[in-house]
Structure 1
Amino acid sequence: MTGSIGMAGEALSERAAELAANLAEVRERVAAAEAAAGRAAGSVQLVVVTKTFPADDVRLLAGCGATDVGESREPESGEKARACADLPLRWHQVGQVQTNKAAAVASWADVVHSVDRARLVTALERGHRRALERGERPAGHLLDVLLQIDLDDDDTRDPGRGGARPGEVAELAEVVAAAEGLRLAGVMAVAPAGVDPRGPFERLAQVAARLRADHPEATVISAGMSGDLEAAVAAGATHVRVGRAVLGARPAIV
């Protein structure tokens, strides 16, 4: 038994060292991208996407100074957030949200990056209100909402990815702004596959600027992942969502 405990401790120590090194490398990439774009150091927030990885990894990352983590799959996400409730972390829902899962997401997420339709806004508003009533969220808690923007061209659009078209943003923003307990925080997008991400991210920045003209508080631009974070930072991203470059290859989803 003692040997098994020792082996487990050794494995945990090795994983901690691996995550610390990877996290430091990604932070260096972000800092270099900020400098290259002429932006202030620390102006971009790193969200470490921990979906499919265990709560132990989240704890190790928190020990390395990570403050923001991203999840996407219920019920795994809620279970992990509750298991790590003692940690000073900000939890981000970065994947698509089914309307029937909105209440579960509202019970643990601080930020939802993938709002793309009015029905989802209504479901999140209802779920957040119930979470407050049950004491799952502290009094006065606000759920930050990002509008997911579809940047695909019409002939390459992937409906399964989700996202509101740029022309739909103004109306959807008004729905969020009117929802009780929700706060319109900005926009999010994923660069279309197989194209230079610089163009799509520049279009996202334009959408974000138009949104801020009507909603000055909506300052967040969530864009960029492990392979394209530099292009996102150059285009003005305030948040980048990085999983693989920090945690390694993602376990198979079963």
Structure 2
Amino acid sequence: MTQPLSKDNITKLLKRVRIRSQKSQKAESDIILLAVSKTRPADDVRAAYDCGLTQFGENYLQEAVDKITDLADLPITWHFIGPIQSNKTRPIAEHFQWVQSIERPKIARRLNEQRPDSLPPLQVCLQVNISSEQSKSGVSLNELDELAALVDELPRLQLRGLMAIPAATDSESEQRATFAALRKAFEQLKLKHPQIDTLSMGMSGDMESAIAEGSTMVRIGTAIFGPRQG
């Protein structure tokens, strides 16, 4: 069971983004708010859209495709942010505008091959395993340049930047150190790929640290939709 969306949650979240942006001498508009709507019903996504949110992230493919179909009347930008199995690339290539979780050459090639010619290039981020956790998806920093070079050559993909899910910690100094490492990798990558502009890092519990260290997109679920129930 899930609780209905509270508009007050979005108001409070936007205030958090505004305060942290001001402290970091950034414009609030510089931070894209990606609403992570996995496990939430289409009605909640519609309600969030009515509150001004236009970009939504999904982890589970079939659930996401059902919602995309149900909400086809809304001009939503859909991001796939979950792990990608090779046998699931076609529907991802066909239904989403963004993919933030590319970590292997095989997945990049399949998405490129299966992206319909009638659609614009798929906007993609490379997922980096910034905390070097064995249980986490993502390319290592040592392999990042090679994967970025491959993606940049694929005509149906548009390399936009990096995404990471750091190891969970309540320590602000640890959060910022990890986000700073990802920002450094992003800045180095930008020297070879000057078109990249997206640093997707920060979630409900650490978004202030992420914005302070240069995030351009925060992926927020709980702070928008509330905790899952049951």
Aligned AA (2:158): R
Q: Which of 9, 14, 38 is equivalent to 1:27?
A: 14
Per-residue displacement from partner, 1:140-186 (whole Å, max 9, x unpaired)? 51100101111114xxx22x321011111111011111112110000
Is the counterpart of residue 228 in structure 1 residue 206 in structure 2? Answer: yes
Larger Rg: 1
Aligned match for 2:123, one of 144, 147, 155: 144
Q: Secondary structure at the match of 2:148?
A: helix
Name the aligned partner's letter for residue 146 of structure 1. Answer: C
Partner of 1:118: 105
Equivalent residue in structure 2 for 1:167, among 142, 148, 151: 142
Identify the residue that residue 36 of structure 1 maps to in structure 2: 23
Aligned to 1:82: 69
Report what 2:196 is aligned to: 218
- Between the aligned partners of 2:209 and 2:141, the Cα distance in structure 1 is 20
**What's the CA shift for 1:243?**
0.2
Q: What stretches of structure 2 of length at least 5 have no aligned partner?
A: none
**Is 2:175 the partner of 1:197?**
yes
**Structure 1 residue 197: Cα displacement:** 1.1
Which residue identity does 1:172 align to in structure 2? L
> Which runs of no fewer than 5 residues in structure 1 stay unpaired?
1-13, 133-138
What's the TM-score, normalizing by structure 1?
0.85
Over residues 12-71 of structure 1, what are the superposed CA-to-partner deviations in whole Å (9 max), with x where a residue is unaligned? xx945x1x1111111111111111111123110000000000001111111111110110
Pair 1:105-2:83 in alignment: no
Classify the secondary structure of the residue corresponding to 1:52. Answer: coil
Following superposition of structure 1 onto structure 2, how do residues 68-79 of structure 1 map, counting pairs within 5 Å? 68-79=55-66
In the other structure, the counterpart of 1:245 is 223
Contact 1:53 1:251 in 2 (8 A): no
Secondary structure class of the residue paired with 1:42: helix
Structure-1 separation of matches of 2:94 and 2:136: 24
Counterpart among 32, 57, 73 of residue 45 in structure 1: 32
Displacement of 1:78:
1.0
Equivalent pairs, count: 225
Contact 1:114 1:148 in 2 (8 A): yes
Q: Is the 8 A contact 2:4 2:225 kept in 1?
A: no
Q: CA deviation at 1:74?
A: 1.6
> After the TM superposition, which segments of 4 or more aligned residues of structure 1 sit over 4 Å from their partners?
none
